[in-house]
Each structure stands twice: as structure tokens, then as C-alpha cells.
Amino acid sequence: MKIILGSESKDKLKILESALKELHLEVDVEGTKADSKISTQPLDKEETKQGAVNRAKHARELKPDAAFYFGLEGGLHDYDDGYHLVTYSCLITKDGEEFIGEGEELHLPEEVSKKVKDGAWFGDVIREYAKNNEIDENLITRLSPFTQAVQNSYAEYLKLHGNLGYRKKVCGLVMDNEGQFLLDQLVIYKENDWNYPGGGIEEGETPEQALLREFKEELGTDNFEILKKSKEVTRYDWPPFVIARRQKKEGKTYRGQEEMYFLVRFTGDKKEIKIQPEEIREVRWVKRSDLKEYLNFPDQYEIAERILKELL
């Protein structure tokens, strides 16, 4: 697959090729000198994003014989706590469709941010600062943010053209004898995000079999009794970084998940629970009255309340 990047930067070419190969794509990446049509040091997210779009568009004009065209642009954005490094990728198809991906933002050290505000060039300041201080190397290389931006833009493309289905998943609302509920925090979650334990249904499994298997694998015990199945079935789309992560890991991906729910009783001793550390960071038993403090994903708490009213 021929890919054109709107830049001749060797670093950007290497990042783009590596990012796409991580998604199991066979690519031939070529650079061309494209104009971003923005300032050389963009200090705003929208301008930075527009620079990525302009580079991809210009690349398509210069080399109109590729499958995809990419523009990568890095810049800064001013928040209350100072400047953040921002990165964008624009993927444009041969037919001119645009797909935008954004990389993780990185907070600049206060000293660096102040000097940039005073008119200094970010690249010079951050390299000088790094001589005497420990920093995230991505502030210089931009490797991880640009990789994320590229893969997120391709994930947006897949949402429209990848014919993606929904992963079938089961969740267990697990109670103990005191009426507390078991929540887990996956290693990929942020520190305040929690969910009910569960996982995907494998080929040939019933939902009940899948739930008990997931409990055994991730919680280290099979002392669970499935009580009832809910009529509630929810479907939601994943954000692009989740779509990309799945594509990297398995060479295939989904648009999102379709979840079924079960009421489950834990029949063992809580000391038996041994979490699978590569999947789960922590588990916690929570009173029903406190669930709202933990269930922070969109509609997560409202769905839980509907299910509990149905099944209890």
C-alpha cells in the first residue's frame, strides 16, 4: 500500500511507517515537501490540527497516485497550567475523505512554558532544559504522541470503511452476602474509572460459560453463582485509541462492544480472589449507595441502576 507523507522529515517518515506497521499494514511510505500553511511554531490546537490537514491535502496534490496521504503536525496549546505539547495526524484517502487523529498531550515544564510565552523557540528551550533536568523524551522526539495520532486517524478511517462489528461481552454484577458489589479497575483505565468484571465471549461459548471463565482467569476463583440474566443489552462505540489498540494486539478490531449483564453471587472467601495483574490493577467491594462515585463512564451508573432494579 503506497502512503505519502506531507513532509520529508526522516523522523516523521520513520514514525509513520512504524505506526502503520504496528497496525499490521503492509506499507510503502514516501515523503514529499508539503506546505502546512500555518506558523512555524503553532500555539493553538486548532492551528496545529489545520497544519496537519493542509500537509495531507498538499501531499495529495503533489503525488496523486497513493492509497493514503498523511499530514503530521506538532504544536503547543496554552492551558491554565501552561503550555501542552499537542500532535495531530490527518489521513486523507485517494478520494479526498479526511480522518483526524490526536495524540496524547504532554505538559511542558513551567520554566519551558514561560520562556515560550516570552517568545523563545520551543525546540531550543526544551533541549537546553533537558541538559540539566529529567524530562519525558517524547517532548523532544514526539514519538509516542505522533504514533498515537497516526493510529487514531486510521481508527477513524476503519470506523467508516472497516466493516467493523461489535464485540460480544458479558458483565457480572457480583454481590457478596452483605450486599456489596465487586468492581474492577483494568490496567488500561484511568485511576478513577471502574467497571463490573467480565469479558468477551469466545467462539462456541454461551454467555454464562464466558462469564465464569472470565471470572476464573481474571479473579483466580470459580466461587460464583449466576442468579439471573438481565433483559438489558447495551451497545456503544469505542474511542479511536481502543479500536487502534485492538488492531495492534490482534490484527483485527471492532467498532465497539455489545454487553449482556448477569446478577451473580460470590460464594467464596474474598481472600481467594487473586487478580490477573496484566489485566486488572485493583478490585474493590462497594456499597450500592456508593456506586455512583465509581461508575464514571457515559451512562454506566444509570445502566447499573436499571439492571439492579430489574434483578433485585
Report the CATH number at residue 213. Answer: 3.90.79.10
57, 171: one domain: no
- What pLDDT is recorded for position 53? 98
84, 173: one domain: no
19, 151: one domain: yes
Q: pLDDT band for position 197 (50/70/90)?
A: very high
Q: Which is nearest to 224 in space by CA: 237, 211, 234, 235?
A: 211
27, 152: one domain: yes
Q: Which letter does DSSP use for residue 111 in this model?
A: H
- Scanning the chain, the segments in alpha helix (DSSP H) are 10-22, 45-62, 110-117, 122-130, 138-141, 143-161, 207-219, 240-250, 300-311
Q: How many domains does the chain have?
A: 2
pLDDT digits (tens, 9 = 90+) for 58-108: 999 999 999 999 999 999 999 999 999 999 999 999 999 999 999 999 999
Q: Which is nearest to 29 in space by CA: 48, 54, 8, 58?
A: 8
- What pLDDT is recorded for position 45? 97
172, 299: one domain: yes
72, 58: one domain: yes
Cβ atoms 281, 218 nearer than 8 A: no
Q: pLDDT band for position 206 (50/70/90)?
A: very high
Q: Which domain holds residue 81?
A: 2-161
Average pLDDT over residues 181-201: 95
178/298 Cα distance (integer angstroms): 28
What does the angle CA 125 – CA 129 – CA 135 come to, to the nearest 5 degrees? Answer: 115
138 Rama class: left (phi>0) / alpha (psi -120 to 50) / beta: alpha
CATH code: domain of residue 58: 3.90.950.10
Instruction: Please identify, among 103, 130, 161, the residue that sits at the C-terminal boundary of a domain.
Output: 161
119, 57: one domain: yes
Cβ atoms 60, 92 nearer than 8 A: yes
Instruction: Please identify, among 161, 192, 223, the residue that sits at the C-terminal boundary of a domain.
Output: 161
pLDDT digits (tens, 9 = 90+) for 172-183: 999 999 999 999
- What pLDDT is recorded for position 203? 93
220, 296: one domain: yes
- What pLDDT is recorded for position 119? 94
111, 9: one domain: yes
147, 171: one domain: no
- What pLDDT is recorded for position 229? 97
Model-level pTM greater than 0.95? Answer: no
75/12 Cα distance (integer angstroms): 14
- What pLDDT is recorded for position 280? 96
- What pLDDT is recorded for position 7? 98
43, 134: one domain: yes
Instruction: Please identify, among 126, 142, 161, the residue that sits at the C-terminal boundary of a domain.
Output: 161
Phi, psi of 92 (to 5 degrees): -120, 130
Average pLDDT over residues 240-259: 96
Cβ atoms 55, 43 nearer than 8 A: no
- What pLDDT is recorded for position 307? 96
Query: For the chain, what percent of residues have pLDDT higher than 70?
Result: 100
117, 237: one domain: no
Query: For the chain, what percent of residues have pLDDT higher than 90?
Result: 99
180/162 Cα distance (integer angstroms): 41
Supply the angle between the helices 110-117 and 122-130 in degrees, to the nearest 10: 150
